[in-house]
Every structure is written in structure tokens, then in C-alpha cells.
Amino acid sequence: DHVIPPVPVRQWVISVPKRLRGMLADRPRAVAALTKIFLDEIERLLCGAAGGASDPATPASARPRLGGISFLHRFGSALNHHVHLHACVTDGGFMPPAEQAVSDAPPAFLPARPITHVHLAALTERVRRRVICWFRRSRLLDAAAATDMLAWENSGFSIDASVRITLIDRDVPSYFQSLEHLLRYCARPPFALERLSVIRGPAGRITQVRYVL
């Protein structure tokens, strides 16, 4: 209610090759690098059509910026170990007011262009190369391993951006396409209480705990 403004929000999810997941599991620095690279490239895509977002000559104060919240997940739906990243991002950028505008003028929201498979594939490739380069510079991968990963036909990097919350759906109570539902999903714990049950023996004592997928 007080953090995300009334604009469309899109969920972005990235998973990385198994070779890198173990290193993400116990290296906060690697998680921070992945998060920064991922959000940088999302911003580049969403704000590029707004003008100046990717032009080095444009001052940073005059470039549109997006807003986002990231969530690190260390698990999959089967309680398996699977480190990946979710991000809830404004589906567009905010342009700061012009210098001649009044000091309390709000930033203008610039809606993002529709995202196609071509845009998603290009973004995935840029993220893949930057992440592998970071792991190489940080000496978590040697040169041979980095070169090998860049040559993989199936890169192991996967990005999904299919979930989008519109302004019409945003604040509908208990709706599966509302913003609250999306944020609860992203902030959920590894297991769901409604999937847990207990099995009792003849004496009434709990003998097993069952988790249903």
C-alpha cells in the first residue's frame, strides 16, 4: 500500500545453471551480483524505448528508472534445493521532473512497451554473458569453465516474465492476479502448511509427517 505506486507490475524470474546454483547458495556477494545484473538488464529493456536509458551520454539524473523488489528463493516446489531469483518490477520507468519544474513535482511514469520473445531472448543472453563474466572475474570459474559455459547450446539460464498485474486487478481482495497475491507468492516460505499432514499410529502418536506435492 505504501511502497509500490499504482502502476502495472510484472514478475521476473531467473534461474541459472546448476553449476552456479551451489555458489549462489553460500556466497551473498554472488547473489548481489546476479540481482544487480538482472535488474540492470530489465531496466535497460523497459526504459530503452522511453529515450536515453541506454545512452551513456545522458546524465543519470535524466534517465528513466524502474522500481523493483527482489526475493531470493533457495527451494523448488518439491522442497528441492534450487536457488533462483524473483523480482516484482514496475512495468515501466519513472522519468524525473525537468530541472525547471517545481521542486515537489512528481516523476512521470512511462509505461513499458510490450515484451516479445525476441526481447526476452536478447535479455537472457545479455544476463548470461554478464553473469558468467562476473563469476570468471571473481575467480569462481576459471577461464576454461567460463568458455565452456558460453559455448553451451542450452545455456541453463531461464528468464520468465509472463505474470503481469494490471491496475484493474491490482487491489482486488483475494484475487490470484492481485498485487498482494503476487507478493505473498514471492515472499512465501519453502513449504506450504496446507500441504502438510500427519499420520498417527494405533496409539495416536504421530508416526509420519507427509508433504503432498
C-alpha 122/C-alpha 161 separation (Å) is 13
- Region 143-157: mean pLDDT is 94
pLDDT at 53: 53
Helices within 50-142 (DSSP H only) = 117-137
User: Does residue 189 surpass a pLDDT of 90?
Assistant: no
pLDDT at 177: 86
Q: Which helix (H) or strand (E) holds 6?
A: none
For 208, residues 6+ apart whose C-beta sits below 8 A from its C-beta are 198, 199
Helix orientation angle between 28-48 and 117-137, rounded to the nearest 10 degrees:
150
Helices within the chain (DSSP H only) = 18-25, 28-48, 117-137, 143-150, 179-186
Strand-pairing partners, residue 158, are: 15
Least confident of 61-75, 110-124, 158-172: 61-75
Q: Other C-beta atoms within 10 Å of 66: how many? A: 23
User: Mean pLDDT over all residues of the chain?
Assistant: 89
Residue 135, burial from CB neighbour count under 10 angstroms (0-12, 13-18, 19+): buried
pLDDT bracket for residue 99 (50, 70, 90): low
pLDDT at 2: 87
- Region 185-202: mean pLDDT is 90
pLDDT at 182: 94
pLDDT digits (tens, 9 = 90+) for 26-55: 899 999 999 999 999 999 999 876 554 555
Taking CA atoms, 91 is separated from 24, 160, 164, 195, in Å, by 27, 14, 8, 33
C-alpha 131/C-alpha 125 separation (Å) is 10
- Region 60-89: mean pLDDT is 88
User: Does residue 100 surpass a pLDDT of 60?
Assistant: no
pLDDT bracket for residue 85 (50, 70, 90): very high
pLDDT bracket for residue 62 (50, 70, 90): confident
Long-range contacts of 137-144 (CB under 8 A, 24+ apart): 138/29, 138/30, 138/33, 140/23, 140/27, 140/30
Residue count of the chain, please give it: 213
pLDDT digits (tens, 9 = 90+) for 107-123: 889 999 889 999 999 99
pLDDT at 119: 93
Contact 166, 157 (CB under 8 A): no
pLDDT at 102: 62
